Amino acid sequence: MSGDGHGADFGEFKAGFLVEVDEYVQLVENALLELEGDLGTGRPDKRRLQEIFRAAHTIKALAAMLEFEPIVELCHRLESVLRAMERDILPFTATGVDTLVESTKSLSSLVEDVRSDRTLARPSAILQQLDDLLALSVDSSATLPAPSGTRLSDAGQATVSRNPTYEVRFSPTSDLVAKGVTINAIRETLSRMGELVEVRPEVDPNSPGQLTFVLIVSSEADEATLASAIGLGTGAIREISNQGPQQPPQTSPPLPTEQGRQLGVLRVDISKLDDLMRLVGELVINRARIGRAVSDLNRTDRREAVTAIQESTQQMERNLRDLREAVMRVRLVEVRQAFGRMHLVARDAARAAGRQVRLETSGEETEVDKVLVDRLTDPLIHLVRNAVDHGIEPPVDRASSGKGEVGTIRLSARPEGDRVVIQVSDDGRGIDREKVAARAAPLGFDPAQVRSDDEVLMHALCHPGLSTRDQAGRTSGRGVGMDVVWQRVREMGGSMELSTRQSTGTTFTLRLPLTLAIVEALTASCGGQRFAIPINAVDEVAEIPRREIVHFEGNEILQHRGQVLPVLRLNRLFHLGEEYPDQPYLHAVVVDAGGSRWVMTVDRLIGEQEVVVKTMADTLVRTPGVVGATDLGDGQLVLILDLPELVRAERDRHQNRSGGRA
């Protein structure tokens, strides 16, 4: 047993706590920002207040379970303020919203303390601020009595009289949690099956530390149905209809139940799990088939048994591939998670720097591997802060240049082949090339190139030694963060591009893999070396007669299925010899590089297989068009190509050349 007084399952609970609380904290943050938008109207959106209230309440209940007292206290105080605002007895002011935002920050820093096993300190300052705020209420009865329970519904009264009311008692244990029986799951199920009237935590004096939730629900379902739906025995439920109606107190906010359920704690779509179950089922059937065939081997009909085994093996291969894809899909989450947080980041940075900023997001529904979304957050924070601090001009300057005082930062995501493209752009002043050139010169950068070439400019900005800090905001000196951003992006197997125009704005473009791990790839050979080409980027595979390739101003083009396509030869791009110079045909793949189709020739296409992607992030070996490497099983690494990136790099090179640069 651990010495801190918590049980052995504390760690398990803590992990679950963090997952859920993170979601709720973010929800509160976002809702507060929207609430801030209501300040103009002078009236808060009541639904939003309720939403925040419920989230705070859930965090409180979760924290109470694990005895994180400072969090419980803070949430409780938050609830009081929210309730007072909701009941219009506390004026809805900017100061009020500010205090709420500050409390939320304090809340998330407490959660961070939990995450890093630090001792939680009582956030006295912010509690005092909340108290001061509450003192402004015209009716002090808004203050909640004590952290006990909350009435969730007053709309339930009519329902209460019609349907029987039950009391459900639930004491979380690690076994139950492992089975998915959690307070939130139960709460959700019950509110779907009836009207959830009350949820309150109770501490059993006989076993301190063990928390019991008491849920009052009215439902037309009977006890047994309810019990099995929530995964508890019937002993946990008893009917209490005859004990008088549950008088909903006036202070309770109405509960739009549907909304409550959207509080999306990272949940997996049931249909995705059903897919998994179905696939596992098929595998089991197949295994049985093989077992039968193997026992048949001992009898006479050997050939039939061998055929059956072969068929089953093939079937299993398909099943495993499907299973892998299904598991990948389960891992995918929307980038919304990472984007959502940026509103607060932009708001904070704008305040600190005295800017007016609007953050617009698009493509939040783009799905990316959960791990990537998590790792994306830090680089995004840096980029957004940088955009505010260094991109967007002070309102006066903007006005005088006819831009409008409010600057815009756009955050967008979209899939592109097997990558996701994330852009952070601002309509600010653009990066001062002269300044960067001056500072980068001592670091070995050619000032002329820094001035003229966005890529060199970006390398300079991302150099650990560079920081154009004279304007430095409190949050970032550009340069300090940029090297970290770039490093993170490369670690994820991604790339970053910069484009900036004086007084027009700056855009950072990140290209990241959608998933880590495994991709389906074509294997090809070129100049005696093998390469893997992720199949998502390949439109089709073709054999091209050499004589159909037309030379055109130093380039090669080809008519293919009625389209004229540019031809690139991997041998030449990679300075490799040709394996079959006399062969009249070339093997090629047609690549879609962000809208335009290109033909890429190789010496030979070998086959198609799944490969495990190992990223190659080290600067020594980072090269355009190579995303990583894989071991095909013989210990020799095979490079995995990103053909769209390769095509883009080549196209840019051409454009630069024709643009007059020697």
Partner 1 sequence: MTTQPGTLADGFNGRKGSQWIVFNVGETEYLVDSAQIVQIEMVENVTSVPNTEPYVRGVAYLRGQVVPVVDLRVRLGLPATQPGLESRIIVIGSSARPVGLMVDSAREVIYLEKSAIAPPPEIASASGATHVSGIAVSNNRVLLVLDVDAVLQASLKLAPQSEVSQAIEQEGHTQGRESS
Q: Give the nearest distance from C-beta 538 to partner 1 in angstroms.
A: 20
Q: Give the nearest distance from C-beta 463 to partner 1 in angstroms.
A: 6
Q: Give the nearest distance from C-beta 624 to partner 1 in angstroms.
A: 7
Beta strand 596-602 pairing with 563-569: parallel
**Closer CB to partner 1, 59 or 460, in the complex:** 460
**Closer CB to partner 1, 346 or 532, in the complex:** 532
**Cβ burial 613-623 (10 Å sphere, 16+ → b, else e):** bbbbbeeeeee
Q: Give the nearest distance from C-beta 355 to partner 1 in angstroms.
A: 30
Q: Give the nearest distance from C-beta 491 to partner 1 in angstroms.
A: 11
Q: Are 163 and 218 in contact (CB under 8 A)?
A: yes
**Closer CB to partner 1, 591 or 646, in the complex:** 646
**Closer CB to partner 1, 182 or 525, in the complex:** 525
Burial tier of 213 (Cβ tally within 10 Å: 0-12, 13-18, 19+)? buried
Of 587, 551, 558, 584, residue with least CA distance to 571: 587
**Closer CB to partner 1, 356 or 615, in the complex:** 615
Q: Give the nearest distance from C-beta 661 to partner 1 in angstroms.
A: 13
Beta bridge partners of 590: 540, 599
Q: Give the nearest distance from C-beta 368 to partner 1 in angstroms.
A: 23
> Cβ atoms within 10 A of the Cβ of 251, count?
17
Q: Give the nearest distance from C-beta 530 to partner 1 in angstroms.
A: 9
Of 453, 455, 423, 414, residue with least CA distance to 594: 414
**Closer CB to partner 1, 173 or 449, in the complex:** 449
SS3 assignment, position 172: coil
Question: d(Cα 174, Cα 170) in Å, to the nearest integer?
Answer: 13
- Give kind and range of the element (H or E) at residue 531: strand 529-534
**Closer CB to partner 1, 24 or 445, in the complex:** 445
Q: Are 367 and 332 in contact (CB under 8 A)?
A: yes
Q: Give the nearest distance from C-beta 413 to partner 1 in angstroms.
A: 28
**Closer CB to partner 1, 480 or 557, in the complex:** 480
Token duo for residue 388? 């505010």
**Closer CB to partner 1, 378 or 453, in the complex:** 453
Residues 6+ apart with CB under 8 A from 96: 81, 85, 90, 133
Question: d(Cα 325, Cα 317) in Å, to the nearest integer?
Answer: 12
DSSP result, 505-552: EEEEEEEEESSSSEEEEEEEEETTEEEEEEGGGEEEEEEEEGGG-EEE
For 156, 183, 222, the CA distances from 240, given in Å and listed in that order, are 15, 20, 12
**Closer CB to partner 1, 329 or 651, in the complex:** 651
SS3 assignment, position 527: coil
Q: Give the nearest distance from C-beta 619 to partner 1 in angstroms.
A: 5
Instruction: Provide the sign of the torsion angle of the four alpha carbons 477, 479, 480, 484, taken in this order.
Output: positive
Which residues would be at the binding site for partner 1 (CB under 8 A)?
Answer: 443-446, 449, 456, 459-460, 462-463, 529, 573-576, 614-616, 618-621, 623-624, 626, 628-629, 631, 634-639
Question: d(Cα 423, Cα 318) in Å, to the nearest integer?
Answer: 37
Backbone phi and psi for residue 84, each to the nearest 5 degrees, phi listed first: -60, -40
**Closer CB to partner 1, 349 or 460, in the complex:** 460
**Closer CB to partner 1, 54 or 439, in the complex:** 439
Question: d(Cα 464, Cα 459) in Å, to the nearest integer?
Answer: 10
Question: d(Cα 269, Cα 616) in Å, to the nearest integer?
Answer: 33
Q: Among the residues of 332-369, which ranges form H helices?
A: 336-353
SS3 assignment, position 202: strand
Instruction: Let me know how long the chain is.
Output: 662
Backbone phi and psi for residue 276, each to the nearest 5 degrees, phi listed first: -60, -45
